[in-house]
């Protein structure tokens, strides 16, 4: 029997990249003659073919993604998508993006293009838009015709408001034009990178994203500013990029609409461009309100998230849901606005309080229990070492096993989360396994003053017990889940569950948020999930009473270690919530 070859059917754009690479290598000396750089580029069909192919390609087509996956070239995909708008990029940025596009195909060419980009970065030629330089070349008549063609056929390639999204639509109408039906589609993309030492001046990631803009508008968590402010300034100063810093305190009590409005006003004062990605550095709170502000500024402004906490690194950072709290309810206001790039950098974990690391791990437990058996086993195997070493950043050596395990845990968590989240970008349905633990807790977290990780831990374990009561999960797996949370010192219990009014409100708010459905995700085994949609309030109350009796047998009677915001040195949201509640009552009376 003969073996079948795994033949990769290359797309037109891949063929153009390969042809351009071959031509460039053969003619490198002439092309890189700085005196005639532009002419040497435009006076060859390979450059023209590639440029037109980039504009005409659909970089959001799954077939291209799958092709690049088979070619081990997925790192090229975000650059292919940005190069859809090639003509509108600065010439320096175009060549830099091109260098990353060809990297998996030809490393030598990639290095040559990066060198060329750096040589022209501070010149008028490099800072001018590519289309402007092309119109000044000997082939200006050809490119004038390109402009006319693209105005009709490929407007995104010519005059994009953003290089990070694309849309399409289709309209039909009745013969008398009294009824019109329209279908609209939006394509956007997010790149997720697990990175080390992003602020090291030798790390080009942030430089490459901001050099062509000449500046970086940076929204920073106050804690990050206190610990890394000098490093951030040194990084951008080293690369001659102007840094516009906006520093905000980012505790849970700060996660309200007034701060979102303040951030938007800061963007306005700085004149943020609609194609200029804001850099957000910090954890979940600054990420949520910063992304919300970006989503409503110019109706959509791109942003890059540098995630510095456990929660943001594996969950809220790449999340397409931006939000703020309101009315004592978590994340009541918000929009759908994903980052164009999320950078999960473990090196920041070394400066976190252990209580922050602990509560962040709850989001990893979420994906392990409900979706990823391999991740669950890894968490069992790693145990408290994960927390004690802050994911292998303190109290250990670089060669220790905990370091490699920590990296794998972050990677698996991100993969599971993104796979689960991005297939239902705008929450058009409630079959959302990553909502495990995020139903009732959205109502009781602030009222109880709990850290987010402890609040969702309480609900995740309660939901697991609901599954057991229905016979969906066996006792052995249930006990493994309880044990995992307990050994990581997370909360199985809090007395807020005995507040009937609070639980009733939470129940109702789930229905409101999920379109009249409960759709409570519960585990049916390790890494497996089903949904409860027919739970009643009396049944919930009965289950809570029985659950309390079961988890009281666990260490600390099911209570977590440092479960409250105040335990972690954060302002107590209970105080703020009660103040808001009293203001609302007074307003209603008046």
Reading the chain (590 residues) residue by residue, the pLDDT tens digits are 344 444 455 677 888 888 888 777 777 666 666 556 777 777 778 888 888 899 888 888 899 999 999 999 999 999 999 999 999 999 999 999 999 999 998 898 899 889 888 888 888 888 999 999 999 988 999 999 999 999 999 999 989 998 898 888 999 999 999 999 999 998 888 999 999 999 999 999 999 999 999 999 999 999 999 999 999 999 999 999 999 999 999 998 999 999 999 999 999 999 999 999 999 999 999 999 999 999 999 999 999 999 999 999 999 999 999 999 998 888 999 999 999 999 999 999 999 999 999 999 999 999 999 999 999 999 999 999 999 999 999 999 999 999 999 999 999 999 999 999 888 888 889 999 999 999 999 999 999 999 999 999 999 999 999 999 999 999 999 999 999 999 999 999 999 999 999 999 999 999 999 999 999 999 999 999 999 999 999 999 999 999 999 999 999 999 999 999 999 988 888 876 555 555 445 444 44
Which run of H or E residues covers position 305?
strand 303-307
Task: List the domain range (segments joined by +) for residue 338.
Answer: 191-352
What CATH code is carried by the domain that includes residue 498?
A: 1.20.1090.10
76 part of a folded domain? yes
| 322 and 227 together in one domain | yes
| 336 and 455 together in one domain | no
Distances (CA, A) of 8 to 63, 81, 180: 11, 21, 43
- In this prediction, residue 24 carries a pLDDT of 75
19 part of a folded domain? yes
Instruction: Give 358's Cβ-side CA count (13 Å radius).
Output: 25
- In this prediction, residue 305 carries a pLDDT of 98
| 220 and 138 together in one domain | no
| 93 and 231 together in one domain | no
Placement of tokens 């979420």 in the chain: 366
| 426 and 342 together in one domain | no
Calculate the dihedral angle through the C-alpha atoms of 454, 455, 459, 460, rounding to the nearest 10 degrees: -40
| 205 and 128 together in one domain | no
387 part of a folded domain? no
What CATH code is carried by the domain that includes residue 321?
A: 3.40.50.1970
| 342 and 434 together in one domain | no
| 321 and 240 together in one domain | yes
| 228 and 138 together in one domain | no
| 125 and 208 together in one domain | no
21 part of a folded domain? yes
Where do the H-state alpha helices sit in 371-400? Answer: 373-382, 385-388
Structural domains counted in the chain: 3
Q: What is the CA radius of gyration of the chain?
A: 26
413 part of a folded domain? no
Q: Determine how many CB atoms are found less than 10 A away from the CB of residue 570.
A: 20
- In this prediction, residue 590 carries a pLDDT of 47
588 part of a folded domain? no
Rounded Cα distance between 57 and 38, Å, is: 24
Domain end among 118, 139, 160: 160
DSSP secondary structure string for all residues of 271-302: T--TTSPEEEEESHHHHHHHHHHHHHGGG---
What values do phi and psi take at 33, rounded to 5? Answer: -70, 105
357 part of a folded domain? no
Q: What tokens were used for 388? A: 């004690």
Rounded Cα distance between 587 and 590, Å, is: 5
Rounded Cα distance between 528 and 376, Å, is: 11
Rounded Cα distance between 367 and 343, Å, is: 19
523 part of a folded domain? yes
Domain end among 352, 381, 408: 352
| 334 and 429 together in one domain | no
- In this prediction, residue 7 carries a pLDDT of 45
Q: Determine how many CB atoms are found less than 10 A away from the CB of residue 104.
A: 16
- Check if the beta carbon of residue 310 is closer than 8 Å to that of residue 356: yes
DSSP classification of residue 564 = B
Domain end among 324, 352, 380: 352
Where do the H-state alpha helices sit in 32-174? Answer: 37-42, 45-56, 62-70, 77-82, 91-102, 107-120, 124-127, 130-135, 140-153, 155-158
| 147 and 277 together in one domain | no
CA 335-191-24 angle, 5° bins: 140
């Amino acid at each position: 029997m003969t073996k079948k070859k795994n033949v990769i059917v290359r797309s037109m754009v891949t063929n153009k990249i390969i042809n351009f690479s071959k031509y460039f290598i053969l003619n490198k000396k002439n092309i890189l003659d700085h005196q005639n750089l532009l002419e040497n580029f435009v006076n060859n069909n390979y450059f023209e073919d590639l440029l037109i192919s980039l504009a005409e390609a659909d970089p959001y087509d799954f077939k291209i993604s799958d092709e690049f996956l088979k070619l081990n070239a997925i790192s090229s995909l975000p650059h292919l998508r940005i190069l859809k708008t090639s003509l509108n990029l600065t010439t320096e940025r175009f060549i830099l993006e091109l260098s990353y596009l060809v990297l998996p195909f030809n490393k030598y060419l990639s290095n040559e293009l990066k060198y060329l980009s750096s040589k022209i970065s501070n010149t008028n030629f490099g800072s001018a838009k590519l289309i402007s330089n092309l119109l000044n070349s000997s082939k200006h008549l050809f490119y004038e015709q390109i402009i006319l063609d693209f105005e009709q056929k490929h407007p995104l390639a010519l005059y994009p408001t953003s290089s990070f999204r694309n849309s399409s639509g289709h309209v039909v109408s009745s013969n008398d034009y009294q009824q019109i039906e329209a279908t609209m589609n939006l394509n956007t993309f997010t790149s997720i990178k697990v990175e080390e030492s992003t602020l090291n001046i030798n790390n080009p990631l942030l430089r490459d994203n901001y050099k062509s803009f000449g500046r970086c508008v940076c929204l920073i968590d106050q804690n990050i500013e206190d610990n890394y402010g000098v490093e951030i300034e040194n990084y951008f100063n080293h690369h001659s990029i102007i840094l516009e810093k906006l520093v905000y305190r980012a505790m849970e009590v700060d996660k309200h609409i007034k701060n979102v409005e303040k951030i938007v006003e800061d963007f306005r004062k700085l004149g943020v461009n609609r194609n200029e990605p804001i850099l957000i550095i910090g954890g979940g709170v600054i990420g949520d309100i910063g992304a919300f502000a970006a989503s409503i500024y110019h109706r959509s402004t791109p942003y890059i998230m540098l995630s510095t906490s456990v929660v943001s690194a594996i969950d809220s950072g790449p999340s397409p849901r931006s939000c703020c709290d309101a009315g004592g309810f978590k994340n009541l206001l918000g929009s759908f606005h994903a980052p164009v790039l999320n950078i999960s950098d473990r090196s920041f974990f070394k400066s976190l309080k252990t209580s922050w690391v602990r509560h962040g791990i709850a989001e990893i437990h979420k994906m392990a229990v409900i979706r990823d058996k391999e991740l669950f086993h890894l968490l069992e195997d790693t145990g408290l070492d994960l927390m004690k070493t802050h994911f292998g950043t303190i109290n250990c050596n670089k060669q220790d096993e905990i370091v490699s395990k920590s990296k794998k845990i972050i990677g698996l968590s991100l993969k599971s989360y993104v796979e689960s989240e991005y297939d239902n970008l705008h929450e058009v349905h409630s079959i959302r396994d990553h909502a495990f633990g995020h139903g009732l807790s959205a109502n009781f977290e602030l009222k109880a003053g709990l850290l987010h990780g402890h609040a969702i831990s309480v609900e995740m374990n309660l939901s697991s017990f609901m599954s057991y009561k229905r016979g969906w999960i066996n006792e052995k797996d249930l006990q493994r889940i309880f044990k995992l949370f307990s050994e990581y010192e997370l909360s199985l219990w809090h007395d807020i569950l005995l507040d009937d009014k609070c639980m009733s409100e939470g129940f109702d708010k789930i229905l409101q948020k999920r379109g009249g459905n409960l759709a409570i995700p519960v585990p049916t085994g390790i890494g497996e999930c089903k949904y409860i949609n027919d739970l009643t309030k009396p049944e919930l109350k009965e289950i809570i009473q029985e659950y309390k009796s079961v988890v009281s047998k666990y260490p600390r009677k099911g209570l977590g270690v440092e479960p409250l915001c105040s335990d972690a040195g954060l302002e107590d949201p209970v105080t703020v919530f009660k103040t808001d509640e009293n203001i609302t009552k007074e307003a209603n009376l008046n």
